[in-house]
Amino acid sequence: MSWYISGVTIDWLLDSDPAIRWQVMRDLTDAEATSVERERALVAREGWGARLLDLQDDDGNWGGGVYSPKWISTTYTLLLLRHFGILPADPRVRGAVDRVTEQVRMGARPFFQYSTELCITGMTLALGSYFIPDRHGPPQREVLFAKQKEDGGWNCHVASNRSSFHTTISVLEGLLEHERAVGGDTELAAARMKAHEYLLERRLMYSLSTGELVSPRWLLMSFPPRWFYDVLRALDYLRDADVEPDPRCDEAIEVIRSKRRSDGTWPLQNPHPGQVHFQMEEGAGKPSRWNTLRVLRVLHWYDGV
């Protein structure tokens, strides 16, 4: 790789939880696929993934609620397990997901069938597509197709004629996960391509009408992102979706590149206030393995090295 990654940094990243280690091996090293999968299998058995599975209540929920309290509820715990890349077919994971399927409801619907507020609809589509084996007919996809706005994005405030970056990134992640689950779909791909243009036209962070930065917080690197948008989340999505690097991302790339610390790591920034099951990192301003991993794989994708 290029100057921005060293063996010392890789060793530091690998000296961590299986949830990080297997992704470092896959994205930043030449590890064989069998070794990567062997490491990934550990996520459900030890470390953070196993701890989260242990915290599920008998009623199928985590944290005593479905969407709240933030960030220990069922929705945000499952999102975190997806970030970990926990194997959906692992027996412990299957049992946990079955309890959610059978017992947990969001409003009037079973959890994985929720399709009302669009930001959460994107989340439940991503989670259902990731965790449930047969996802060819979820209600979310048709709702999201119908609610896509002329500018290419989505907004939880459906009366607005403009899209929201927050909602759009949530929906994009859900559509991508679903497209993978069903093995490719031209309608899904077309909806995503239109939404990519929404982000790219705005250079991932600017108002199209005024040209101004929408929010200084979007320049900060949060993990987990929860429901919030930021430029690193957008770039990591584009990388994950195999989007061709686009010069309209140049400014966002320079934002994350500039945050590199002298020790070759990137910091945690702007952790979103709320309850957590346990701390994964030292705190804001401290070196972050999650953000270092995410930035390095984005730069690897964008720079082509």
Query: Of 120, 49, 131, 55, which Cα lies nearest the Cα of 97?
Result: 131
pLDDT reported for residue 42: 98
Q: How far is CA 208 from CA 3, 192, 255, 295, in A?
A: 34, 19, 19, 26
Average pLDDT value for residue range 284-302: 98
Backbone angles phi, psi at 164, to 5 degrees: -115, 135
Report whether pLDDT(1) > 60: no
Distance, in Å, from the CA atom of 138 to the CA atom of 114, rounded to the nearest integer, reads: 9
pLDDT tens-digit readout, 64-111: 999 999 999 999 999 999 999 999 999 999 999 999 999 999 999 999
CA 78 from centroid of its chain's CA atoms: 11
The CB-side HSE value for 273 (13 A sphere, CA atoms) comes to 0
String of DSSP letters for 181-208: HHT--HHHHHHHHHHHHHHHHTTTTB-T
Average pLDDT value for residue range 145-155: 97
Q: Residue written as tokens 């966002």?
A: 252
pLDDT tens-digit readout, 36-64: 999 999 999 999 999 999 999 999 999 99
Query: Of 167, 165, 192, which Cα lies nearest the Cα of 180?
Result: 192
pLDDT reported for residue 119: 97
Contact 198, 152 (CB under 8 A): yes
Q: Residue written as tokens 């497209």?
A: 179
pTM exceeding 0.95:
yes
What radius of gyration do the chain's Cα atoms show? Answer: 19
pLDDT tens-digit readout, 278-292: 999 999 999 999 999
pLDDT reported for residue 4: 64
- Helix (H), strand (E) at residue 19: helix 18-28
**Checking phi first, is residue 116 left (phi over 0); if not, alpha (psi -120 to 50) or beta?**
alpha
Query: Of 77, 62, 171, 183, which Cα lies nearest the Cα of 126?
Result: 171
Q: What letter represents residue 238's amino acid?
A: L
Contact 202, 213 (CB under 8 A): no
